[in-house]
């Protein structure tokens, strides 16, 4: 039986440090507490979010040959994510992300790719997972060649391709071959303007949609904006909450959106569900620990209604 959502992406050990302020260049600050260690990485976070949103989910990725790998695989399995297509890379450490979080929840993150950078193509298990999934969900934290190959395979089998184009590609990177395979693109305002070369977020979304795909621009506390293939625009407001830690909020949004889409919800309703998941995620520390369940999202939407 295939997955509702197959996620190809990164898996990192998140080392989270609470600080009074994110240090400026040359500045040293003292942490407010000992560091916390959680499973993370955009791919892993989004896979867990998808599974908690009720979708049968599989993960395609790589971990290292170290104790962190056991923690990452445990987090995936505990959430109900299939890990048959995860490669354990000998002689390499798992990816790590060093996260500093200030009191208002804003963060700064440094990622060390580790095993995530060791891809050499899709394994047989990865190809099977991609071909059998209803939705392929990808980001840009792993080898772009692997993402492109997965997207091409998904389209070949008639699957929907959802790309979260994050982190923003470096200047001069040509994403056109990948974007040509994408059915639903999710970006924040910075990523939208960087990809489209247009300063205004809404104008960038329309340019990126171009009648070929639907585009969602996440707006943080202002919710999200959808431009579909016809050019129609739908704005979805965010639920007002007090943010504790914004780490993983975008991944909660994207994973929930993928799950809702795979389970047949119309895109505007799936987007509303994704916004609710993002709002819940900022109310706890750490990415995976704060990713909400479908029950929690339903409860929040019910209170909002």
Kindly name the residue from 104, 251, 298, 305 that is annotated as catalytic.
251
Contact indicator for 63, 85 with CB cutoff of 8 Å = no
Q: Which residues contact 9 (CB under 8 A, 6 or more apart)?
A: 41, 42, 43, 44, 46, 47, 59, 60, 61, 137, 138, 139, 141, 142
Angle at Cα 291 formed by Cα 104 and Cα 122, nearest 5°? 120
Q: Is the dihedral of CA 304, 191, 182, 209 positive or negative?
A: positive
Query: Residue 25 burial by CB count (10 A; 0-12/13-18/19+): exposed, middle or buried?
Result: exposed
**83, HSE (Cβ side, Cα atoms, 13 Å):** 21
User: Is 251 a known active-site residue?
Assistant: yes
Just list the catalytic residues: 251
């Amino acid at each position: 039986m295939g997955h509702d959502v197959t996620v190809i992406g990164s898996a990192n050990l998140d080392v989270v440090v609470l600080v009074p302020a994110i240090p400026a260049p040359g500045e040293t600050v003292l942490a407010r507490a000992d560091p916390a260690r959680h499973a993370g990485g955009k791919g892993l976070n989004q896979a867990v979010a998808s599974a908690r949103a009720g979708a049968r989910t599989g993960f395609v990725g790589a971990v290292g040959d170290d104790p962190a790998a056991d923690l990452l695989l445990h987090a995936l399995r505990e959430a109900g994510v299939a890990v048959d297509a995860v490669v354990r890379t000998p002689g390499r450490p798992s990816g790590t992300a060093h996260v500093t979080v200030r009191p208002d929840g804003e963060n700064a993150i440094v990622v060390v790719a580790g095993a995530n950078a060791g891809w050499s193509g899709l394994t047989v298990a990865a190809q099977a997972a991609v071909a059998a999934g209803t939705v392929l969900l990808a980001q840009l934290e792993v080898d772009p060649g692997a993402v492109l190959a997965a997207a091409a395979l998904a389209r070949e089998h008639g699957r929907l391709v959802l790309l979260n184009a994050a982190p923003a590609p470096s200047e001069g990177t040509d994403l056109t071959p990948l974007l040509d395979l994408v059915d639903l693109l999710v970006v924040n305002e910075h990523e939208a303007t960087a990809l489209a070369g247009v300063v205004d977020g809404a104008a960038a979304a329309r340019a990126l949609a171009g009648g070929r795909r639907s585009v969602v621009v996440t707006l943080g506390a202002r919710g999200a904006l959808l431009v579909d293939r016809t050019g129609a625009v739908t704005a979805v407001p965010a639920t007002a909450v007090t943010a504790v830690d914004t780490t993983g909020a975008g991944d909660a949004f994207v994973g929930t959106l993928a799950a809702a889409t795979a389970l047949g919800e119309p895109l505007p309703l799936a987007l509303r569900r994704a916004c609710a998941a993002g709002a819940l995620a900022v109310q706890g520390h750490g990415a995976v620990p704060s990713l909400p369940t479908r029950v929690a999202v339903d409860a929040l939407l019910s209170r909002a209604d």
